[in-house]
Amino acid sequence: MRELTRAEEQVMQVLWKIKKGFVKDILEHFDDPKPAYNTVSTIVRILQDKGFVTHKAYGRTHEYYPLVTKSDYSKSHLKTFVNDYFSNSFEKMVSFFAKEKSISVKEMEEIMKIMENEVKKQKPLR
């Protein structure tokens, strides 16, 4: 998956948040000092070329949607990171950061519980 540049990522973060929107909607979600309308418009069209968003046309105005989900992008992004910084071992990464954050065994058990619940939720449906 293509990497997002900083400006592109900012626009995607807004789109992921608002689900869909016109350029003016995206613009609204920027902190001051907001960029110019045309700046956002350009970036959103670049994102479209890269396949990250699509649009639905209402006459001449376009409503933009993410095509790549935040999950998909974060997956790809972390995969690259884990590969580059933890020789592709998710386990190494987790234990490194868990230690970093002084996450205790107890807290890890909490995470496991969350995971177990997610497994339970999915099992009966499949």
Partner DNA sequence: CTTGCTTAACTAATTATTTCGTTGTATATT
Partner DNA sequence: AATATACAACGAAATAATTAGTTAAGCAAG
**Contacts with DNA, residue ranges (CB under 7 A):** 5-8, 22-24, 35-39, 41-43, 45-46, 59-62
Residue 34, C-beta contacts closer than 8 angstroms, at least 6 positions apart: 27
Q: How many residues sit close enough to a second copy to count as binding (CB under 8 A)?
A: 37
Task: Tell whether residue 75 is a contact of a second copy (CB under 8 A).
Answer: yes
Per-residue 3-state assignment (H helix, E strand, C coil) for 14-74: HHHHHCCECHHHHHHCCCCCCCCHHHHHHHHHHHHHCCCEEEEEECCEEEEEECCCHHHHH
| 3-state secondary structure at position 104 | coil
Sole window of 19-27, 33-41, 45-53, 113-121 interacting with a second copy (rule: CB under 8 A): 113-121
Per CB under 8 A, the list member of 110, 120, 124, 125 interacting with a second copy is: 110
Residues in contact with a second copy by CB under 8 A are 9, 13, 70-71, 73-75, 77-78, 81, 84-86, 90-91, 93-101, 103, 105, 107-112, 114-116, 118-119
